[in-house]
């Protein structure tokens, strides 16, 4: 059997079925695990960036260092937690120069400082291709972390900013289109939305970061909360560019905006957009001029 027969999410489900959650901990299935710890809870997540999959050999190492940590910090933001500590395990590919590592570490540590995150350990090895593996630990007051699984029928769906800029920037980079520096920066130097997530922590019912694409990440909330999400196409704040289509922006990943459901009677904080609502049922439906539109093969999957 090929792994692609069950897919990335099928494989994770299978691993999940083989594990148990001890009391006081939430395991596989969300952006971070939650571990109760006295009056607090720890949020822990690990993510890998693989050369040839997440970045190319000629990637700017400074920006790669920043992005590697940014995507991990985003997983803590995705649960409305505060990122605190990290570990860096790096397998260095053949032919990588010392200067490359220096720039990578400068980018990594610059971002760490901007977010008050401390590097506490890691591991260094060599391999065919470069693989970067980061563990992030954040914290929250007990019971305050927001999961994917707690959206309720009647809630509104909100997003913390424009979506699709990262995909548009990726397209410009991939097709070697000159200019579009701002969009390229969105893709290469994403900003984890820690503050934004905290702003809505007390009115949100469920939360995730948009790493796989708006539609697919709505799907993650819908599936774990056992609800259906209706998205209003005309309310979605698409990136202001014609380099990518709206369809591509709905499916393209790596925006790292916060996507949340909030109680419908709560006021909306500055900077957030209401883009949909939670209803009974399952899956995600996009409504355009009152009609539902289906998008095929939407969002990133590894297998």
Residues near ligand ADP (CB under 6 A) are: 12, 15, 28-31, 47, 75, 211
Residue 294 to residue 184: CA distance in whole angstroms: 29
Find the part of the chain contacting Mg ion (CB under 5 A) among 39-47, 161-169, 188-196, 245-253. Answer: 39-47
Helix (H) or strand (E) holding 264: none
Find the part of the chain contacting Mg ion (CB under 5 A) among 43-51, 113-121, 182-190, 202-210. Answer: 43-51
| Residue appearing with tokens 């702003």 | 199
Q: Which does 18 bind (CB under 5 to 8 A by kind): Mg ion, ligand ADP, none?
A: none
DSSP string, 62-107: HHHHHHHHHHHHHHHHTTT-EEEEEEEEEEEPTT--HHHHHHHHHH
Q: 26 or 244, CB closer to Mg ion?
A: 26
Output the smallest distance, CB 95 to Mg ion, in A.
Answer: 27
Q: Which does 255 bind (CB under 5 to 8 A by kind): Mg ion, ligand ADP, none?
A: none
**Cα–Cα–Cα angle for 26, 254, 143, nearest 5°?**
25
Q: 47 or 230, CB closer to Mg ion?
A: 47
Q: Which does 248 bind (CB under 5 to 8 A by kind): Mg ion, ligand ADP, none?
A: none
Q: Is 217 in the site for Mg ion (CB under 5 A)?
A: no
Find the part of the chain contacting Mg ion (CB under 5 A) among 45-53, 58-66, 87-95, 142-150. Answer: 45-53
Residue 123 to residue 88: CA distance in whole angstroms: 6
Residue 42 to residue 22: CA distance in whole angstroms: 15
* Number of residues this chain uses to bind Mg ion (CB under 5 A): 1
Q: Which does 12 bind (CB under 5 to 8 A by kind): ligand ADP, Mg ion, none?
A: ligand ADP
Own/partner long-range contacts of 214-217 (Cβ < 8 Å, ≥24 apart): 214/159, 214/163, 214/249, 214/250, 214/251, 214/255, 214/259, 215/250, 215/251, 215/284, 215/286, 215/295, 215/298, 215/299, 216/251, 216/253, 216/298, 216/299, 216/300, 217/259, 217/299
Output the smallest distance, CB 206 to ligand ADP, in A.
Answer: 14
Q: Which does 31 bind (CB under 5 to 8 A by kind): ligand ADP, Mg ion, none?
A: ligand ADP
Dihedral angle over CA of 200, 205, 209, 211, nearest 10: -160
Q: Is 47 in the site for Mg ion (CB under 5 A)?
A: yes
Residue 196 to residue 160: CA distance in whole angstroms: 7
Query: How do 40-50 and 82-92 pair as beta strands?
Result: unpaired
Q: Is 212 in the site for Mg ion (CB under 5 A)?
A: no
Q: 161 or 253, CB closer to Mg ion?
A: 253
Output the smallest distance, CB 114 to ligand ADP, in A.
Answer: 21
Q: 25 or 109, CB closer to ligand ADP?
A: 25
Q: 41 or 47, CB closer to Mg ion?
A: 47
Output the smallest distance, CB 50 to Mg ion, in A.
Answer: 12
Q: Which stretches of the chain bind Mg ion, using CB under 5 A?
A: 47
């Amino acid at each position: 059997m090929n792994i692609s027969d069950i897919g990335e999410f099928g494989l994770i489900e299978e691993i999940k079925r083989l594990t148990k959650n001890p009391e006081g901990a939430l395991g596989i299935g969300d952006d971070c695990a939650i571990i109760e710890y006295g009056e607090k809870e720890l949020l822990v997540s690990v993510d890998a960036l693989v050369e040839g999959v997440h970045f190319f050999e000629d990637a700017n190492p400074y920006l790669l260092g920043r992005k590697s940590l940014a995507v991990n910090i985003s997983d803590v933001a995705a649960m409305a937690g505060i990122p605190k500590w990290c570990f860096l395990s790096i397998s260095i590919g053949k032919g990588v120069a010392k200067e490359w590592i220096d720039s990578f570490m400068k980018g990594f540590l610059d971002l760490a400082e901007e977010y008050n995150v401390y590097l506490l350990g890691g591991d260094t090895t060599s391999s065919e291709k470069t693989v970067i593996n980061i563990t992030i630990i954040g914290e929250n007051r007990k019971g305050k972390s927001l999961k994917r699984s707690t959206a309720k029928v009647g809630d509104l769906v909100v997003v913390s900013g424009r979506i699709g800029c990262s995909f548009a920037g990726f397209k410009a980079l991939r097709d070697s289109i000159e200019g579009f520096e701002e969009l390229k920066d969105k893709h290469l130097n994403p900003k984890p939305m820690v503050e934004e997530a905290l702003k809505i922590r007390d009115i949100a019912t469920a939360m995730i970061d948009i790493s796989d694409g708006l539609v697919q990440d709505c799907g993650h909330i819908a599936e774990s909360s056992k609800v259906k999400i209706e998205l209003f196409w005309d309310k979605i704040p698409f990136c202001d560019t014609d380099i990518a289509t709206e369809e591509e922006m709905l499916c393209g990943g790596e925006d790292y905006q916060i996507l949340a459901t909030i109680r419908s009677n709560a006021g909306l904080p500055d900077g957030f957009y209401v883009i949909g609502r939670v209803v009974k049922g399952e899956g995600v439906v996009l409504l355009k001029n009152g009609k539902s539109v289906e998008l095929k093969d939407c969002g990133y999957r590894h297998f």
